Structure 1
Amino acid sequence: MKQLITLLLFMLALQPLAYSQDRLSEIRENIPLDSIRLSDPCILADPETSMYYMTGTGALLWKSRDLKFWTGPFRVVETDPDSWMGPRPMIWAAELHQYKDKYYNFATFTNREVKIDMVKGNVIERRASHILVSDKAEGPYRSMEDPTYLPADKPTLDGTFWVDEDGKPYMVYCYEWLQNWDGTIERIELKPDLSGSVGESKLLFKASESPWSRERNENGDTIPNKVTDGPWLFRTQTGKLGMLWTSWVFGDYTQGVAYSESGTLDGPWIHDEKPFTPPNYGHGMLFRTFEGQLLMAVHSHWVGENGRYIRIPKLFEVDDSGDKLVLGQPFSGNEY
């Protein structure tokens, strides 16, 4: 019950962001990063324009030359009202990826008018990861030929992008715990132009396999947490394949890291014993600045006076020179 209440508060907190395309405010300039409210931040350093582009839940776009001051938000996503998403989908956890000669927007869309299941008294709405495409980093991003990438009867979210050792592109995503009651992270092959998926998905790991994410059941016993959230793939400079992903340590939203023993998506995936971030930071991603410094973008996760979550992007320095990531200090940006 506590987990469901937390989820409800989380969804209420996201609604203003998810629907922000419908009431977009005027474009603002020179906004400090810590003055932007944004869940699931993702930053693309675009060499074509020498600009940083940031998006996330709500799928609006911010841009910056120095990571310190930002201009936005811009509307960049165009959805088809006749598609499964409906006329006003909620949009979560948008990511920007440059691949070959195109830019791709991986995002989670929810059509709240379509109910696909009922589990333990909880209505499961139509939700899925999807990919949009553009010729430019700043969009507009539009759907491609395939109407769906993932099964319509499963709630999926937080899709991200990876090209594995076999040279094939993949979407890595979460199968939501609300239906299976033990969230998973899975992968599915994509077509060469990312316009659709190929074949069946494959399980990478379950939430319950983590040694660090924990919750208490109705009897007060400590058990593995059931949530998988926000996967992001990376390779260290030594070639080690790893994945950032987020869950909960009792009441704290927290991020961990897992590493693939085989060096491929198929794993097996071995989880670090302890979380990677401090409590109440999560849904991380990695990018390099134009100067070559590796940074991690996450969002804070605090409950404000009105009961809503306060989610603000924050950057941390990260060292990937060894076989494992090492978290550094918060990034100030003063050197830029």
Structure 2
Amino acid sequence: MKPLFPLLIFILLFQYRTFSQNRLPEIRENIPLDSIRLSDPCILADAKTSMYYITGTGGLLWKSKDLGHWTGPYRVVETDPDSWMGPRPMIWAAELHYYKDKYYNFATFTNREVKIDTVQGNVIERRASHILVSDKAEGPYVPMEDPTYLPADKPTLDGTFWVDEDGKPYMVYCYEWLQNWNGTIEKIELKPDLSGSVGKSQLLFKASESPWSRERNDEGDTIPNKVTDGPWLFKTQTGKLGMIWTSWVFGDYTQGVAYSESGTLDGPWIHDEQPFSPPNYGHGMLFRTFEGQLLMAVHSHRVGENGRYIRIPKLFEVDDSGDKLVLGEPFRGNVN
């Protein structure tokens, strides 16, 4: 009998993400952050508009002047119905990045009508990280030159952005465990305007290399967890390159951190022994407020009575003054 826990978790996540993608409630104003249901939150502090924008799974956008009260959601993603994504792709883990006077939307798209593989009885749908562009933070975000960024025969997700020491832009993303049964985090070079990818991807590390993410097999033995999820790159104030990313500690969705010994994406990546976040918080990202305070946005995680994930954005204070991140208290600010 194959280990079923990661697969059951994936099914629940799939149900939640499908639900959040298909719902489009009316625009609401002055909504507290903890009243928003949102998985994989990513916040852009946009200096041009003096506005915070939050997006995530579902691809919708909220905006706020103070991080405390938000207006939205707005539909900001425009895909090509004739592309590999199909007419109604699912959207996961959207991120907004400002680069060279443009705004870019890194997101994972799934076309449920296209099946690319079957592994250990699991049918794998066409899923990949992709990048859209806009002249404004509020969108709309539209496709660019290349129809694909990553191989069509591999399920990839949770793409994020980094400009490495060589001055070149990269997408860092996850190759999903459902196909390789040991999830990875990889990089691929991007064109200067991010309109496509260059060359082949390169492995950064595997899920099994983490000392903190664990699960049990059918015999009850403790083994490395298979899942890689939600990478986000950062540099500390001392110049140390690090990455927060998420996996599982048995039944708890949890975030860890790794640091590059070379100071570049090529690593090697050394993982902290213990998780970075409390249990049942994950898929984090870092941003600075307009006042200069470093915060981490994550989502809380629990399963409701109907079997759907309940995920709510949460902000934590973070200290990056040393060689390693230090997690602080939940951010109070104007959130309450």
- Name the TM tier (shorter chain): over 0.9
1:6 aligns with 2:9: yes
Once residues 326 and 315 of structure 1 are traced to their aligned partners in structure 2, the CA distance between those partners, rounded to angstroms, is 14
Once residues 202 and 293 of structure 2 are traced to their aligned partners in structure 1, the CA distance between those partners, rounded to angstroms, is 33
CA contact (8 A) 1:102 1:134 kept: yes
1:44, distance to aligned residue in structure 2 (A): 0.1
In structure 1, the partner of 2:60 is 60
1:5, distance to aligned residue in structure 2 (A): 1.4
Q: Which amino acid is the alignment partner of residue 320 of structure 1?
A: D
After TM superposition, the structure 1 = structure 2 runs for residues 271-286 of structure 1, keeping only pairs within 5 Å, are: 271-286=271-286
CA contact (8 A) 1:28 1:72 kept: yes
1:305, distance to aligned residue in structure 2 (A): 2.0
After TM superposition, the structure 1 = structure 2 runs for residues 251-270 of structure 1, keeping only pairs within 5 Å, are: 251-270=251-270
State the Cα RMSD in Å.
Answer: 1.0
After TM superposition, the structure 1 = structure 2 runs for residues 71-86 of structure 1, keeping only pairs within 5 Å, are: 71-86=71-86
Q: Which amino acid is the alignment partner of residue 256 of structure 1?
A: G
After TM superposition, the structure 1 = structure 2 runs for residues 1-336 of structure 1, keeping only pairs within 5 Å, are: 1-20=4-23, 24-334=24-334
CA contact (8 A) 1:50 1:65 kept: yes
Residue 142 of structure 2 aligns to a residue in which SS? Answer: strand
CA contact (8 A) 2:95 2:106 kept: yes
Once residues 44 and 5 of structure 2 are traced to their aligned partners in structure 1, the CA distance between those partners, rounded to angstroms, is 36
Once residues 272 and 329 of structure 1 are traced to their aligned partners in structure 2, the CA distance between those partners, rounded to angstroms, is 20
1:335, distance to aligned residue in structure 2 (A): 9.3
1:142-176 CA-partner distances (Å, limit 9, x unpaired): 00010000000000000000000000000000000
Q: Which amino acid is the alignment partner of residue 316 of structure 2?
A: F
| TM-score normalised according to structure 2 size | 0.98
CA contact (8 A) 2:68 2:335 kept: no
| TM-score normalised according to structure 1 size | 0.98
Once residues 335 and 310 of structure 2 are traced to their aligned partners in structure 1, the CA distance between those partners, rounded to angstroms, is 28
Once residues 21 and 93 of structure 2 are traced to their aligned partners in structure 1, the CA distance between those partners, rounded to angstroms, is 10
Once residues 58 and 289 of structure 1 are traced to their aligned partners in structure 2, the CA distance between those partners, rounded to angstroms, is 24
Q: Which amino acid is the alignment partner of residue 53 of structure 2?
A: Y
Residue 157 of structure 1 aligns to a residue in which SS? Answer: strand
Once residues 11 and 193 of structure 1 are traced to their aligned partners in structure 2, the CA distance between those partners, rounded to angstroms, is 32
CA contact (8 A) 1:161 1:171 kept: yes
Once residues 280 and 305 of structure 2 are traced to their aligned partners in structure 1, the CA distance between those partners, rounded to angstroms, is 16
Once residues 114 and 22 of structure 2 are traced to their aligned partners in structure 1, the CA distance between those partners, rounded to angstroms, is 17
Once residues 3 and 294 of structure 1 are traced to their aligned partners in structure 2, the CA distance between those partners, rounded to angstroms, is 32
Once residues 70 and 79 of structure 1 are traced to their aligned partners in structure 2, the CA distance between those partners, rounded to angstroms, is 25
CA contact (8 A) 1:214 1:225 kept: yes
1:97-140 CA-partner distances (Å, limit 9, x unpaired): 00011000000000000000000000000000000000000000
CA contact (8 A) 2:33 2:335 kept: no
Q: Which amino acid is the alignment partner of residue 6 of structure 1?
A: I
Residue 18 of structure 1 aligns to a residue in which SS? Answer: helix
Residue 198 of structure 1 aligns to a residue in which SS? Answer: strand
1:218, distance to aligned residue in structure 2 (A): 1.1
Number of paired residues?
333
1:19, distance to aligned residue in structure 2 (A): 2.4
1:334, distance to aligned residue in structure 2 (A): 3.8
Where structure 2 has 5 or more consecutive residues not aligned to the other structure, the ranges are none
Q: Which runs of 4+ in 1 moved over 4 A?
A: none
1:308, distance to aligned residue in structure 2 (A): 1.4
CA contact (8 A) 2:30 2:71 kept: yes
Q: 1:18 to 1:301 in 2, by over 3 A?
A: same
Once residues 334 and 286 of structure 2 are traced to their aligned partners in structure 1, the CA distance between those partners, rounded to angstroms, is 19
Percent identity, aligned pairs only, is 86
Once residues 13 and 149 of structure 1 are traced to their aligned partners in structure 2, the CA distance between those partners, rounded to angstroms, is 26
Once residues 131 and 335 of structure 1 are traced to their aligned partners in structure 2, the CA distance between those partners, rounded to angstroms, is 30
Once residues 52 and 131 of structure 1 are traced to their aligned partners in structure 2, the CA distance between those partners, rounded to angstroms, is 20
